[in-house]
Structure 1
Amino acid sequence: MILPSPQQLRYLSALADHGHFGRAAAACAVTQSTLSAGILALERQLDTALIERGATKRPVFTPIGLEVVARARAALSALEAVAETAAATRDPLSGPLRLGVIPTIGPFLLPRLMPALRKAFPRLKLYLREDMTERLMAHLDAGKLDLLLLALPCDCSVAEIETIAPDPFLLALPANHRLAALPQVPLGALAGERVLLLEDGHCLRAQAQEACGLPRGLSAEGFAATSLHTLVQMVAGGLGLTLLPRLAVEGGVLNGTDLVVRPVQADTPGEATPARTLALAWRPRSPRAAEFRSLAPAIAEGVG
């Protein structure tokens, strides 16, 4: 049996990723004819059609083609792990690291974290991708990212997790609002207030709802934002109140506004301060797991 070559698997995976022969070829740094020939040779070796060849210019994978793509990605990830194991032994935390970060962390933490990481790990080359948790997890699973910086709770059961630090929620509101007179705002005091949150799909929305146990009847239907900066401008415009992570507030999300923040506290004495938890996530059994864990203290120091 003649086994597929890693290059053939890369061609096939790139075609699935880009959905276009030309863009896939460019991603693999080869000509389109080279990529097409490599995939055709793979089909002949496997004695099966992986792509439907018809009038459409966009590649359509056959059912077996989709399964082979999934196995190709797993095989490439395993091959990369072989090289990573050796590299991690020779020179830990060096070379390229593809880091995914969520939008409610990246803009507020990375400006002060990156200089510290460059100083502590001068041979580390960070490639960053910012996206929502669900898509970052998909990229991690597909081997397109090595490590994620995200917030818990989230749907990340398929990854190994290293917690970094809590990130408490603060209530942002106009200075003349009645609740601004309080040094701390009990969660029960939010009942009847219009609390604005990020739109569905952002993990921060669910985290705020879960961590703060938002009371029944608390509603901001018709009002949602796609970023914390937009959320802040909506509050500044008098549309309601919002809950912000302390990390974002310390990162300057309120700059240019007259809004104030107040800590929120649980209604029951002794309950934990409402917060999300910053964490790192990587693929299970990654050969770089020890390296990733060693990054956590550096990141925690950046969080402050």
Structure 2
Amino acid sequence: MTLLPSPQQLRYLIALAESRHFGRAAQACSVTQSTLSAGLLALERQLDTSILDRDAGRHVVFTPLGLELVERARTALSALEAVSEAVLAAREPMGGPLRMGVIPTIGPFLLPRLMPALRRAFPRLKLYLREDTTANLAARLNANRLDLLLLAVPCECPGAEAMPVARDAFVVALPPDHRLAGEEQISPAALSTERLLLLEDGHCLRDQALAVCGLLAGDGTGEQDGFAATSLHTLVQMVANGLGITLLPRLAVAAGIVEGTGLVLRPLAGAGAWRTLGLVWRQNAPRASDYRALGAHLVDTCREALQ
């Protein structure tokens, strides 16, 4: 009879692959480093193979077969966890823990409205939140470290299902003495010669803004001097100081991000001058019905917020 790896051994293997450091992997698994090392050594003996290259010195280097086993471990652990999730979903719909990732250009502006509504509608739900960039959240979803994501769709999330919940229009924010401040609406073409201030690389809103305006980095986007903002609040302050103009999602404007700055806001004209907000989860997730129920509340919350 084949001796199968334990779920804990699979967790050790995945944690080490992600951190490439025994100490950090042990910390992520809430065990001592010696316990994790012993568990992985036992796994190698059970499988009668080398998962780690022991000749690599102090560096954590996986053998080719070891790397393959990491991916298989992710699949196996995800399937095991789906068993428990299916039971929870049947026993307690919209209850228990749920791990949701959200991008920084949505979270601060929508969550203050969403969280009270969810507490009223689903008092048994324990929603744990993580704010990060789209790429990092997608990686965590794929690794089964998050259950669903709230971000701009479509996104690079292979093997995922998406539920659009709102259309979030872009508006142009500019100083009151700017030459375009008197326009009722501003076309993307009018921005081609302006210094368009953007978020730094890694934020999907940056790529969306460039796509909407038909611009490439370095062609009038304000990147020539190497400056980029880490948040929408920083962008607003840069525009208020006369450093350029920017695009803001209406969701942030409705939440009061420009209050007290004196900035002028004008709609961005043209087709596609918006982003689509949506929920994303792994295909065939046992709690998909819960995610859709949460999405229905998001539709209502977004509608109220964007008004």
The TM-score normalised by the length of structure 2 is: 0.90
Q: What is residue 71 of structure 1 aligned with on the other side?
A: 72
The aligned counterpart of 1:95 is 96
Q: Please state how far the C-alpha of 1:10 moved relative to its aligned partner.
A: 1.4
User: What is the alpha-carbon distance in structure 1 between the residues aligned to residue 154 and residue 6 of structure 2?
Assistant: 40
Change in 2 beyond 3 A, CA 1:167/1:87: same
Task: Provide the C-alpha distance between the structure 1 equivalents of 2:128 and 2:55, rounded to a whole number of angstroms.
Answer: 38
Aligned to 1:23: 24
CA RMSD of aligned residues (A): 2.1
Does the CA contact (< 8 Å) of 1:136 and 1:148 recur in 2? yes
Residues 198-254 of structure 1, C-alpha deviations (whole Å, 9 max, x = no match)? 223221122122234459954323242222112112111111111100011122322
Partner residue, 2:285? 286
Q: Does 1:254 align with 2:258?
A: yes
The answer (yes or no) to whether the contact 1:152–1:207 under 8 Å persists in 2 is: no
- Match in the other structure for 2:295: 296
Query: Cα deviations across residues 77-132 of structure 1 (Å, max 9, x unaligned)?
Result: 11011111111111111111111111111111112211111111111111111111
Q: For 2:96 and 2:216, locate their aligned partners in 1 and report how far apart those are by CA, in whole Å.
A: 48
Structure holding more strand per residue: 1
1:277, distance to aligned residue in structure 2 (A): 0.4
Which letter does structure 1 place at the counterpart of 2:223? Answer: E
Cα distance in 1, alignment partners of residues 216 and 135 from structure 2 = 27
Alignment match, 1:52: 53
Q: 1:27 to 1:155 in 2, by over 3 A?
A: closer
Q: Is 1:229 paired with 2:230?
A: no
Q: State how far apart, in whole Å, the 1-side matches of 2:23 and 2:158 are.
A: 36
The answer on whether the counterparts of 2:215 and 2:221 sit within 8 Å (CA) in structure 1 is no
Moved more, 62-71 or 248-257: 248-257
Q: Which residue of 2 aligns with 1:8?
A: 9
The 10-residue stretch of structure 1 (160-169 or 125-134) with the greater mean CA deviation from structure 2? 125-134
Instruction: Decide whether the 8 Å contact of 1:153 with 1:207 is kept in 2.
Output: no
1:244 corresponds to which residue?
248
Q: Deviations over 1:230-289 (max 9, x none)?
A: 2112111111111100011122322342212111211xxxx45x1000001011111111
Q: Which moved more, 1:33-42 or 1:247-256?
A: 247-256
The residue identity in structure 1 corresponding to 2:231 is S
What amino acid is aligned across from residue 283 of structure 1 in structure 2?
R
Where structure 2 has 5 or more consecutive residues not aligned to the other structure, the ranges are none
Q: Deviations over 1:40-96 (max 9, x none)?
A: 111001111112335744432222212111111111111011111111111111111
Secondary structure at 1:248's aligned position in 2?
helix
* Distance (whole Å) between structure 1 residues aligned to residue 9 and residue 41 of structure 2: 9
Aligned-residue offset at 1:173: 0.6
The equivalent of 2:275 in structure 1 is 276
Does the aligned pair in 1 maintain the 2:188–2:212 contact within 8 Å?
Answer: no
Bigger Cα displacement from structure 2, 25-34 vs 61-70: 25-34
**Residues 62 and 157 of structure 1: is their aligned pair in 2 closer, same or farther, counting only changes over 3 Å?**
closer
What residue is the counterpart of 2:205 in the other structure? 204
Q: What is aligned with 2:221?
A: 219
SS in 2 for 1:181: coil
Q: Matches of 1:35 and 1:192 in 2, distance apart?
A: 57
In the superposition, relative to structure 1, how do residues 34 and 236 fare at CA in structure 2: closer, same or farther (>3 Å)?
Answer: same
Percent identity over the alignment?
64
What amino acid maps onto 2:11 in structure 1?
R
Q: Distance in 2 between matches of 1:58 and 1:116?
A: 48
Cα distance in 1 for residues equivalent to 2:289 and 2:213: 34
Change (3 A) 1:165 1:2: same
Whether the aligned pair in 2 keeps the contact of 1:153 and 1:276 (CA below 8 Å) is no
1:263 aligns with 2:277: no
Q: In 2 relative to 1, CA 151–43 (structure 1 residues): closer, same or farther, beyond 3 Å? A: same
Give the distance between the partners of 1:134 and 1:249, measured in 2 at CA.
25
AA of the residue aligned to 2:297: A
Equivalent position SS for 2:140: helix
Residue 183 of structure 2: aligned partner = 182
TM-score (norm 1): 0.91
Gaps of 5+ in 1: none
In structure 2, give the amino acid aligned to 1:297: A
